[in-house]
Amino acid sequence: MKTKKVYIYHSFERFWHWLQAILIIFLAFTGFEIHGNYRFFGFEEAVRYHSIAAYMFLILIVFAIFWHFATGEWKQYIPTQNNMKAQVRYYLSGIFHHAPHPTRKTVLSKLNPMQRLTYFGLKILIIPLSVLSGLAYIFYRYPQSYQIKYLNIESLKVIAVIHTIAAFLLIAFLIVHLYLITTGETLTSNLKAMITGYEELEVDEEEDMVEPKEQIS
């Protein structure tokens, strides 16, 4: 098995990943303070920081969506059933027998089927639920204060429950994510890749002939 050092995560992707991580963690921390689970910043400050981080997150998402489409990276997240059973079997048993990864990571296909499904679910379902319910939280009073009856949201309860479900799911995701990044070639190879951008990847002999043309700076 021959490996080559490949530049797999370019600058913007890493910037996006880490800033999003910091923002989501900070949003969760301030969010659960607002929810009432503990007191740290103080309620008023927690709300203010949560709002600021939320707006930053929204701006980041806009840039990220543009990047996904402009670079074609969106294709990486299309879910597939191809190799799904093999991938599940790997995590449930194969990994304990030092079996090889059933899917090969390349620049054009960075995610295994389970990852594709998980991140797709985050992008299409959980994050939009959280963002939209968060926006409803910020702005729900305006329809009522301007007497627009048909846009009036009677109670915050539904918005709050949706926002909280998304929050719990994101935290569960975060825990699993932080654990599963240790399942690379070495415990830290995935982390290093997301910091430096470079990863030692298996190369297919034939593919090696042709350098990937996408040089995204």
Partner 1 sequence: MRKIIGALGIMALILVVVVGTLTTRIIKPTKIDQLKEQYSQKHEPSVDHSLFPQLNREFNSAKDVTAECITCHNKRHTEVMNSNHWNWEREEYIEGRGIVSIGKKNAMNNFCIGTQGNEKSCAKCHVGYSMDSKGFSFTDPNNIDCLVCHDNTETYAKASNAGGDAVPTLDLNNIATHVGQPKRTNCGVCHFYGGGGDNVKHGDLSSDMFYPDQDIDVHMAVENMDMQCITCHKTENHVISGKMYSLSSMNHNRVFCSDCHTETPHESQILNEHTLKVACQTCHIPAYAKGKSTKMAWDWSTAGKLKDGKPYHEEDSLGNHTYLSIKGSFVWDNNVIPEYQWFNGKAVHYLEGDVIADTTKPVVMNELLGSYADQDSKIIPVKVHRAIQPFDPVNRILIQPKLYSDNQGEGAFWKDFDWQTAAEEGMKDAGLPFSGEVAFTKTEMNWPVNHMVAPANESVSCAECHAREDGRLAELNDFYLPGRDYSHILENIGFATIFLTLIGIAIHAAFRIISK
Q: How far is the CB of 209 from partner 1 (least distance, A)?
A: 29
Confirm or reject binding of residue 141 to partner 1 (CB under 8 A).
yes
Select the residue interacting with partner 1 from 71, 106, 164, 190 (CB under 8 A): 164
Confirm or reject binding of residue 161 to partner 1 (CB under 8 A).
yes
The encoded tokens of residue 119 equal: 């991140």
The window from 18-26, 60-68, 126-134, 164-172 that contacts partner 1 (CB under 8 A) reads 164-172
Confirm or reject binding of residue 151 to partner 1 (CB under 8 A).
no
3-state secondary structure of 6: strand
Residue 22's CB: how many other CB atoms inside 10 A?
Answer: 13
Q: Which residues contact 158 (CB under 8 A, 6 or more apart)?
A: none
E strand spans, the chain: 3-7, 198-202
Confirm or reject binding of residue 59 to partner 1 (CB under 8 A).
no
Confirm or reject binding of residue 39 to partner 1 (CB under 8 A).
yes
Select the residue interacting with partner 1 from 4, 18, 40, 42 (CB under 8 A): 42
Nearer to partner 1, 2 or 39 (CB): 39
Confirm or reject binding of residue 99 to partner 1 (CB under 8 A).
no
Q: Give the closest residue to 217 by CA, choosing from 8, 10, 1.
A: 10
Select the residue interacting with partner 1 from 165, 181, 191, 194 (CB under 8 A): 165
- CB half-sphere exposure, 22, CA atoms < 13 A: 8
Backbone angles phi, psi at 68, to 5 degrees: -55, -45
Considering Cα of 37, then 123, then 95, then 81, what sign does the dihedral take?
A: positive
Cβ(17)–Cβ(217) under 8 Å?
Answer: no
**List of residues contacting partner 1 (CB under 8 A):** 34-36, 39, 42-44, 47-48, 51, 95-98, 137, 141, 144-145, 154-157, 160-161, 164-165, 167-169, 171-172, 175-176, 179, 217
